[in-house]
Amino acid sequence: MPENLLRTTSNKESISLEFSGELTLYNLHQAQESIAKTELSNFKKITVDLKNASYLDTAFALFLTDLEEEYNATIESENQNFYHTLALTKEHKKKLDKNYKIKKENIFAYFGKAFYASYLSFISFMEFLGKVFFSFLLYFKNVKNIRLKEIAFEINESALRALGIVALTSFLIGLVTAYQAAYQLQRYGGNIFIVDMMGISIFRELAPLITAIVIAGRSGSAYTAQIGAMKITQEIDAMRTMGFDPYTFLVLPRIIALVIMLPILIFVADIMAMLGGIIVADLSLDLPPALFIERLQEVVAMKHFYVGLIKGPFFAFLIASIGIYRGLIVKDDTQSIGYNTTKSVVESLFAVIVCDAVFSIAFTNLGI
């Protein structure tokens, strides 16, 4: 800080802070240190003299404004531009303080806005589902409307290409589940009951859930990213301009493809998970594969297998519709794609788990 930037003149009750030269951000730190060394609270009257100052920026003006408010200081200057700068700084500071108080103090308003935003999002999703069902009615009104080529393409992209990861994941889940159960069953001599546990848990719950989770993370997120990118590049607007309905060409083929293929993927997951259980039963419990399969046919009813398959189309519809909806509401920036892709996976998993819980309660009450 230049030596002549700040000079103080004081007596018992008053002090004068005389600033000179250019008062800018570059001199602010040194000025703050000099003021801190001066015990201003000991003086009843504080005067800030800017008569010899040649320039004042907003950073230094904010510092002087804080000084004025904290110590009730008086600012004197012959330059009217300085007063304008100080006035603008005070006005802006009041707005910032007001916004800060609202955000800090009114927590009910924050939760109210969050709830209202969730409500609007739910209404928007319901509107999307209404358009989907209406498009379905028009879609199947005429056989020529069915886009078989698009459906076949989406079956390959969203399901067949996911077959490997679904099979591997299910196999490992079956392996781990059987291994953990084998340790406990072996202690009580109930080796044979691993078939009962594996059959019911895999067919009814684990295989459908694992398949849905993998598809939500792989295909559901891909739907959001693909359609979101098309919206940013205005491809969807171009389709509407040319007279093509995006729901017919983008939405319905993806939903139909996933609804068709998810039960098939669940069937594959059942086989691979049971294969993992058979391997563990043979190696850890000395239970031959032939005996395992024979016991499976005896104690595990086919209804458990069908229950798992029935869940498939419902899980598929939730995953596809949420992923597509999130893609359609992407804004015109790449950050929005990442945000909505993440939201689509989280919301799809949540919806699948809630749907599975509803099915479990319903089937249990019906005795199925």
Quick one: how far is CA 64 from the chain centroid?
Answer: 44
In sequence order, which ranges of the chain are alpha helices (DSSP H)?
A: 25-37, 58-71, 80-105, 107-139, 148-158, 163-187, 194-201, 207-215, 221-232, 235-241, 246, 252-284, 289-299, 302-328, 334-366
| Architecture of the CATH domain 6-105 | 2-Layer Sandwich (3.30)
What pLDDT, on the 0 to 100 scale, is given for residue 102?
A: 47
132-153 exposure pattern, b = at least 16 Cβ within 10 A, e = fewer: beebeeebeeeeeeebeebbee
Q: Please report which confidence band the pLDDT of residue 100 belongs to, taking 50, 70 and 90 as the band edges.
A: low
Closest by CA to 359, choosing from 169, 209, 195, is 209
Residues forming beta bridges with residue 52, ordered by sequence position: 20
Pick 162 or 101 by higher pLDDT. 162
Position 49 scores a pLDDT of 80
Percent of the chain at pLDDT > 90 equals: 29
Per-residue pLDDT at 50: 82
Reported as a single tens digit per residue, the pLDDT across 250-268 is 888 999 999 999 999 999 9
pLDDT of residue 88: 84
β-sheet bridge partners, residue 75: 48
pLDDT exceeds 70 at position 103 = no
Measured between alpha carbons, how far is residue 302 from residues 257, 281, 305 in Å?
A: 26, 21, 5
Domains of the chain, by residue range, sit at: 6-105, 108-141, 147-366
Nearest to 222 by CA among 311, 345, 134: 345
For residues 96-125, give the mean pLDDT: 75
At 71, the amino acid letter reads Y
CB 171 within 8 A of CB 268: no
**pLDDT tier at 345, thresholds 50, 70, 90:** very high
**Residue 1 pLDDT more than 50?**
no
The residues that bridge with 8 in the sheet, in sequence order, are 17
On whether the CB atoms of residues 328 and 349 are closer than 8 A, the answer is no
- Residue 22's pLDDT band (cuts 50, 70, 90): confident
pLDDT digits (tens, 9 = 90+) for 149-170: 888 998 998 888 999 999 999 9
CA 113, 119, 124, 125 dihedral sign is positive
* Both tokens assigned to 170: 């299910």
- Under the banding of pLDDT at 50, 70 and 90, the label for residue 322 is very high
Task: State pLDDT tens for residues 271-317.
Answer: 999 999 999 888 888 888 899 888 888 888 888 899 999 999 999 99
In this prediction, residues 19-42 reach a mean pLDDT of 79
- Least confident segment among 86-90, 156-160, 324-328: 86-90
Q: Is residue 359 packed enough to be buried (19+ CB in 10 Å), middle (13-18) or exposed (0-12)? A: buried
Residue 147: helix, strand or coil by DSSP? coil
Contact between 164 and 147 under an 8 Å Cβ cutoff? The reply is: no
Give residue-wise pLDDT tens across range 182-221. 878 877 777 788 888 888 899 988 999 999 999 999 999 9
- Above 50 in pLDDT, residue 143? yes
pLDDT of 105 reads 53
d(CA 31, CA 47): 15
